Structure 1
Amino acid sequence: MIRIAIADDHQSLVDGIQLHLKKETDIEFVGTANDGETLLQFVRDQNPNIVITDIRMPKLDGIQATKKIKKEFPQTKILVFTMFDQEDAVKQMLKAGADGYILKNATLEDLLTAVRSINDGSSYFDEQISIPNIEEEPMANRDQLLTRRQYQILQLIAQGKTSLEIADELYIGVYTVDTHRKNMARILGLKGKGELLRYALERKYDF
């Protein structure tokens, strides 16, 4: 069962999402919040699997709330659900530890897909957004944009392991590993099949 909490300062939006997703047999809503402070306390009390949060919220915005949640509960997945498609907003949320990013003009079916993707260990990014261009940043800074699972996979790639070997070691599916590889290449601004391997090998002694 995927236990979900939603945070947004527009209650009507929260109600709409809840009404749509509660029909799914594998999803349970454990609560809602209209500001970041309430969300943080709710996560402490209820320990949901996934938090769906906006960026702009009163008291504590989504970026700061995500940082605090990830620090206290690193296993909790964060899905950003917002109207902000600016590169800087995406970058800040990735650095805060978000596992997915989807825009509010996406369909509810897309939102459901995003929820299930990050619950399965993959990251999810709306096709309408641009992943920040970080090619000019030092390699160590680029790694901060990866999720904890992606960083683990990057380390194993640096050891020369195949997707199948990585899947066996982390107890996840090969498809999930390959999805992570694609998302990591996109996040890191890498192009071509061999670029991720080369990047991992260059970082090998920094892990």
Structure 2
Amino acid sequence: MCNPIKLLIVDDHQMIIEGIQSLLEDQTTVKIVGTATNAKLCEQFFITQTADIVFMDINLPDLSGIDLTALLLKKYPTLNIIALSTFTQGTYVRKMIESGAKGYLLKNASKFEILKAIEVVHSGQKYISPEAQEALNYELNLQKKLPKITKREKEILVLIVEGLTNSHIAEKLFISIDTVDSHRKNLYSKLNVNNTARLVGFVNENKYLDYL
């Protein structure tokens, strides 16, 4: 008989943890080896124990599940992480996958889907729930349509959105005011706006920085 798949649940809501434990308590193919309600406890778990799969909540109190996923995979590259979230926005799905997650489940997933996701991911494939996949497809299509900017332009755009003037940006980035002004004009051109107010409006309305 094959060893059961070892599962760690990371979620800051005890009700979710207990719900998954209840759903899987009669399973012989999956064994819940631990739970953690925040990133710190999750990291502590791996000091003395191991898991094959981690169910990862995105909204944790001390570190986002997106950042924690990237952190864990840097230390444990063979770990399989499946996001388990209430967030259906494509941005969250994309960022989790970009961080290295192998799956994305919604918290209203059925027992059947949870087990399917575990089996699929454990076999080396990806599993994204249909609703999350639809949101991800929309997100990726939208991303393709948005204008591309350089790394330096992004740095300056972030500071413009924060309300900094050209002189403050120049001081912060150790570049000349003329260089900042040149980048600002390039941003106007690329994003098809003609002043700072419209530039900031475009960024906020389209959540543009989330796509960069």
TM-score (norm 2): 0.62
Q: Do residues 14 (structure 1) and 23 (structure 2) align? A: no
Post-superposition CA distance 1:4-24 (Å, at most 9, x none): 000111101101101211211
Distance apart, 1:44 and its partner CA? 3.3
Kindly indicate whether the alpha-carbon contact (under 8 Å) linking 1:40 and 1:68 is maintained by their aligned counterparts in 2. Answer: no
Aligned to 1:113: 116
126, 130, 141: which is aligned to 1:127?
A: 130
Aligned to 2:85: 82
Distance apart, 1:47 and its partner CA? 1.5
39, 44, 49: which is aligned to 1:41?
A: 44
45, 56, 61: which is aligned to 2:59?
A: 56
- AA matched with 1:35: N
Q: Distance in 2 between matches of 1:84 and 1:128?
A: 10
Distance apart, 1:26 and its partner CA? 1.3
Distance apart, 1:45 and its partner CA? 2.3
Larger Rg: 2
Q: Which runs of 5+ in 1 are unaligned?
A: 139-207
20, 26, 38: which is aligned to 1:23?
A: 26
Structure having the higher helix fraction is: 2
Kindly indicate whether the alpha-carbon contact (under 8 Å) linking 1:37 and 1:65 is maintained by their aligned counterparts in 2. Answer: no
1:156-175 to structure 2, matched below 5 A, reads: none
- AA matched with 1:96: S
> Structure 1: which 4+ aligned runs deviate by more than 6 Å?
none
Post-superposition CA distance 1:159-183 (Å, at most 9, x none): xxxxxxxxxxxxxxxxxxxxxxxxx
- AA matched with 1:45: T
Post-superposition CA distance 1:135-166 (Å, at most 9, x none): 4699xxxxxxxxxxxxxxxxxxxxxxxxxxxx
SS of structure 2 residue aligned to 1:128: helix
- AA matched with 2:40: E
SS of structure 1 residue aligned to 2:131: coil
Kindly indicate whether the alpha-carbon contact (under 8 Å) linking 1:9 and 1:35 is maintained by their aligned counterparts in 2. Answer: yes
RMSD: 1.6
Q: Distance in 2 between matches of 1:96 and 1:44?
A: 22
Between the two proteins, the alignment pairs up a number of residues equal to 138
Post-superposition CA distance 1:78-102 (Å, at most 9, x none): 0101000111111111111000001
SS of structure 1 residue aligned to 2:130: coil
Distance apart, 1:32 and its partner CA? 0.2
Q: Distance in 2 between matches of 1:105 and 1:39?
A: 23
Post-superposition CA distance 1:49-104 (Å, at most 9, x none): 00001100111221111011100001010010100011111111111100000111
Kindly indicate whether the alpha-carbon contact (under 8 Å) linking 1:81 and 1:103 is maintained by their aligned counterparts in 2. Answer: yes
Q: Which runs of 5+ in 2 are unaligned?
A: 149-212
